[in-house]
Structure 1
Amino acid sequence: MVTSKKARRRFKPPLSRSEVMSRVRAKNTHPEMIVRRAFWSSGLRYRLHAKDLPGKPDLVFRSRRVALFVHGCFWHGHEGCPNHRIPKTRSEWWNAKITRNRERDADVKRQLEDLGWKVIVIWECETGDGLVVGQIVEEVSQSDKFP
Structure 2
Amino acid sequence: MNNDEKQELANLLQEPERGIAERLRQRRKELDLSVEELSVLTSKFEYASAEGISVPTLYRYEKGDRLPGARELRLLSDSLNVSPNWLILGHEWDSDLQEDADIGRKLLALLGTATARERLPNRSANRDFAHGIKMGQVKEKKEPS
Structure 2 length-normalised TM:
0.31
TM-score normalised over the length of structure 1: 0.31
Larger Rg: 1
Q: Choose between structure 1 and 2: higher helix proportion.
A: 2
More strand by share: 1
